[in-house]
A and B are shown apart, each in its own frame.
Chain A
């Protein structure tokens, strides 16, 4: 019997060993799949369901919160406007040695770029952009937009005098246009469909080898007039810009005779005639032409600025946010009488920290009182805390004006009581003090509420126990109660500090000239000067600053020690 039992047992053990041995691989679930896989599958479905549930919120946050912030921050380095508006000039400036004015070729590139920019009305936009870096560029660009039409006119006149065919749009289309495009254009013109746009111009193959600058200038002309939003024109009907003739002259004058004689294609006779004649043409100096349009084009600093800011990405905005400047000679501090941003960053942080400190000092006793009073009274007091919280920010700020100004309620009362004389009324507003007072009041609920909800959870029995063991009131509070309320202080401080660092309406209204925050300058650059790049750079620095302080807080206090309730 005992043998049999032992045998059975050993048999069972062997059985189980065998199954174990069979399953050295993955453990199997009931349906024979590996358990891990099947668990994963079940969990994946759950995870997907969870993800689907939060997907609307996630998408919402991505679209309305993360994307705009990233887009805005990206502007702090973005500077494509220069290389997009003046692509040829930027290329030509690449091997400029910055000792003397740029070469004639660079001026030619500028003429082509500027003519197109003026047609697309982008030159003034670039002027405003570069005016942030150097005063005066805005009007150089604006005025040049009017004068650029005439650049190259002298060549246009001479080509047309040589052969009137040069005046005909058809000549140019035949010379420059791709035969396929000409056919497509003719088809489009025949349909009389007013909705469809004219097919975009395409250059004939090979023409850019014979007449490189002309081909480029003509394509730029054709595409620009086609792109006009309201009244698009067609290269088939328009005489090219004077700059196209300028390009033609430069090509013919520079090309070896063989290049032109070797060309066979539409209008070859006309081209040969012109090539023979250009040596006798009256020429103009482009640098002088530009100097006539606008003196600035022969000034080194103007070219230096264009060169310095020709890269598609620039550190210029970030440098400007810390009172530095990108110049052709390198990074320099701005003039002492223009330095403002470092001062404002420092002021913002110092004032925000004082506001935060004041909120702790004022909010702690209130929260303590609230959490220790009977429910009915504490609810009433809580409403008093929340009431200003629900009132419009502007109303509260204006109320502070009425109270604090020199002819205001507080000063009047003090004068009436004889504490201050009428001639020496206190300056309580339109300075840093005004900002601190008004903002402390506005942000106080953000300190009181987290403190209150934390204090509510501290059991009163701990303090009683401490007292029964002989602690004084102070020791019981400081050693037992206070440490338990620290998470509330932490949460309140983070809330108040981060909110106050970004405030600008209140400082603007009550801050006078010394109580202004960095956000006021950001708001100014967003809505007044339109220097969004600088605003983005200032904003990025502010964001990084907040994150660094948050990280420091985490290191010193520990973020787990933050409780909102």
Chain B
């Protein structure tokens, strides 16, 4: 009797607690992402299972990540932030954090620990590049080349310097229309050691050196602004070699069976993840926090890798990466973090670029236009 009433009471209390918690959370949430295959992987791995658990919650997806920084500033100025959770690259997260537009988060307090109890901040490790940033995936900007170029007479590019080797690998290149990555590769192929790249770029001579190297392929390069363009150039044979995101190359090679091959050498690691807009109302923040605990746990991050070839940001998720959800291919060999692929990696120096981006971008665009 006593036990029964105790049980009843505790169940009642638990019910009441859930009721209170549910009351405090908003019923809808706007998540901003990049659209395309990447957003589908998030819907499959995070939001569909979450909505199964919380059928009352409505999730609205917005494909505005490419202009997220500007939109969030505009919303903040207008005093009406309509977004709840925003997917951005690490460099944008740093910028948003600097501008006070993103909320600072305590990773250990907000996110689930790994299955073995490792706190979130250790599980994500160095990928937490900003106090506002919750890492999600590791992707890389790397190169791909066509396998059917007759002029190459059977030679295949071995390393990233094939980009600058017009003699052995003639043809049009396609590179991103911004200084980031291109300057690093140029210096690397001009004989600068990997660890000295950023020190060299801080000097005027170093910058000149990088641009001189880029000068050698300036006339043979189409400069892209959206990653889809790069794939289109490669697939149409407009370009024989070029850089884009590894996931885009994966889908061109594996899913669409194009005659393209990966060139993993000197891939540039970059991170993509969530930021929460600053000063959300309490009920919306509670909903976002609830979603984040679920969507960034070890299993969910590993699940996402079944839909897209980006490496999960948690160390504890890596062993759980399985096969592609539709094609059944083993995903691990296609991950940028796979040991065979990451023998030589440039780690994108976010904080350095946060300082030098404005200056070098002006220089790069002037160089391009002339």
Contacts and interface: CB of A to CB of B under 8 A. Distances in A.
A228 B9 CA distance: 39
Contacts of A137: 355
B198 interface: no
Q: Which of B225, B236, B358, B368 has the most CB of A within 10 A?
A: B358
A530 B70 contact: yes
A138 B361 contact: no
Contacts of B351: 139, 142
Chain A CB count within 10 A is highest, among B70, B351, B361, B369, for: B369
A521 B365 contact: yes
Contact of A125 (B69, B100, B236, B363): B100
Nearest to A134: B359
Interface string B332-370: 000000000000000000010011111101110111111
Given A128-B95, A229-B279, A530-B95, A337 B363 contact: yes
Contact of A142 (B98, B361, B368): B98
B32 to A, nearest CB: 14
B109 to A, nearest CB: 14
A230 B279 contact: yes
Contacts of A508: 225
A487 to B, nearest CB: 37
Interface in B189-216: 211
Contacts of B211: 337
A406 B238 contact: yes
B105 interface: no
Interface in A459-514: 508-509, 512-514
A531 B98 contact: no
A347 B354 CA distance: 30
B99 A125 contact: yes
A147 to B, nearest CB: 15
Nearest to B357: A529
Contacts of B45: none
Given A125-B99, A343-B370, A529 B358 contact: yes
Contacts of A142: 98, 351, 354
Contact of B355 (A124, A136, A405, A408): A136
Nearest to A398: B232
B73 A340 contact: no
A527 B370 CA distance: 24
B362 A340 contact: yes
B263 interface: no
Measured as residues with beta carbon below 8 angstroms from the partner, the interface class of chain A is 35 or more
| Most A CB within 10 A of own CB, among B211, B355, B361, B370 | B355
Contacts of B361: 529
Nearest to A137: B355
A337 B223 CA distance: 19
Interface in A496-545: 508-509, 512-514, 516, 521, 524, 526-532
A340 B99 contact: no
Given A125-B98, A530-B99, A338 B236 contact: no
A527 to B, nearest CB: 4
A513 B237 contact: no
B355 A527 contact: no
Contacts of B255: none
A338 B359 CA distance: 9
Nearest to B218: A513
Contacts of A337: 211, 363, 366-367
A128 B91 CA distance: 13
A528 B365 CA distance: 14
B230 to A, nearest CB: 13
A340 B365 contact: yes
Contacts of B355: 131, 135-139
Nearest to B223: A513
Nearest to B94: A142
Interface residues of B, number: 38
B97 interface: yes
Interface string A118-144: 000110110110011001111100100
Contact of A122 (B70, B100, B237): B100
B91 to A, nearest CB: 10
Contacts of B238: 405-407
Contacts of A344: 369
A246 B207 CA distance: 43
A528 B73 CA distance: 12
Given A124-B98, A514-B369, A528-B69, A132 B236 contact: no
B369 A513 contact: yes
A430 interface: yes
B366 A430 contact: no
A343 B370 CA distance: 8
A132 B99 CA distance: 14
Interface in A221-260: 229-230
Contacts of A132: 358
Contact of B366 (A338, A405, A524): A338
A563 interface: no
Interface in B261-320: 279
B100 A121 contact: yes
B149 interface: no
A512 B222 contact: yes
B67 interface: yes
A339 interface: yes
Nearest to B356: A135
A135 B369 contact: no
Contacts of B367: 337
Contact of B354 (A139, A229, A338, A526): A139
Nearest to B285: A230
Contacts of A139: 351, 354-355
A339 B358 contact: no
Contacts of A509: 229
A514 B218 CA distance: 12
Contacts of A138: 98, 354-355
A128 B366 contact: no
Contacts of B236: 405, 407-408
A128 B98 contact: yes
Nearest to A402: B236
Given A340-B369, A527-B67, A127 B98 contact: yes
A408 B368 CA distance: 25
A281 to B, nearest CB: 35
Interface string B164-185: 0000000010000100000000
A513 B368 contact: yes
A430 B222 contact: yes
Interface string B228-241: 01001000111000
A127 B358 CA distance: 12
B94 to A, nearest CB: 9
B35 to A, nearest CB: 14
Among all A-B residue pairs, the 5 with the closest Cβ atoms = A124-B98, A340-B366, A527-B70, A135-B359, A513-B368
20 contacts: A125-B99, A128-B95, A139-B355, A229-B279, A337-B363, A337-B366, A338-B363, A340-B369, A343-B369, A406-B172, A406-B238, A407-B238, A508-B225, A516-B368, A524-B365, A527-B70, A528-B69, A529-B358, A529-B361, A530-B70
Given A135-B358, A405-B236, 6 more contacts: A124-B97, A136-B355, A139-B354, A343-B366, A406-B172, A513-B369
